[in-house]
Copies of this chain bind each other. A is one copy, B any other.
């Protein structure tokens, strides 16, 4: 089995972005990361994103608010960032604390700065297959990996396990745009093993540690693992039971070191696209 590593995809995207960035001169694209509270997951993702973006030569600013901030206060602070002309893109770490109406914030975000695809305008564009859409970065990272591996999805049977609005659903739309025949499975699916086994490409976005083992994977399948979980020994693992599929699958992505690594490169790509569009219009 060939192992498709995130690092190789990241290197290829970085190279492409370096070329793009040269055109900007001193007006470096600028990302605002907005975080409420101190959740370790958020802090880890924020740190990773900043490191990646700074490494490419992009600018990041952090806006950190206390977990107890009211909806009104947060909305007012969010609007300031949203309207700040020096900012090209916004990454809002979610979920937000319960007192904040997350849907209201999603509707508020300027679709041109919404580079992680959370606004209704962007979701509608992803749904429609519009080229100007910013799809959620993780969903698009999967497509980047498949493209990098040179896999033509046209007419292929692709099964997505998971139907979230952050990964499963937008990914299904991106796959359709690539002309794949797409099947969406989820917790209520009956005979999940057979459905997955029948797929030429399996994308695991179920959020369940090591759920997909050899009984789910067909001979020579390509397996992309979006899961980030902790196993019984408190070690990072994916949704795929990697060891069990080694002699079955043709190609698979590891966790860690797979899709997750590519996500912040997609974020950087989107930021540059947003900054470019702002300059044109």
* A residues lining the B interface (CB < 8 Å): 120-121, 123-129, 154-157, 163, 165, 169, 172-173, 176, 179, 181-186, 188-190, 195, 198
Contact = CB atoms under 8 A, between A and B. Distances in A.
A157 B124 contact: no
30 contacts: A120-B120, A120-B125, A121-B124, A123-B123, A123-B124, A123-B127, A123-B128, A124-B124, A124-B127, A126-B127, A127-B165, A128-B165, A154-B188, A155-B188, A155-B189, A157-B195, A169-B173, A172-B172, A176-B184, A179-B186, A181-B183, A181-B185, A181-B186, A181-B188, A181-B190, A181-B195, A182-B184, A183-B183, A183-B184, A198-B198
Nearest to A129: B165
Nearest to A126: B127
Task: Report how many copies the assembly holds.
Answer: 2
Tell me what chain A mostly uses at the interface: helix, strand, loop, or mixed: mixed
Contacts of A181: 183-186, 188-190, 195
Given A127-B127, A128-B123, A176 B155 contact: no
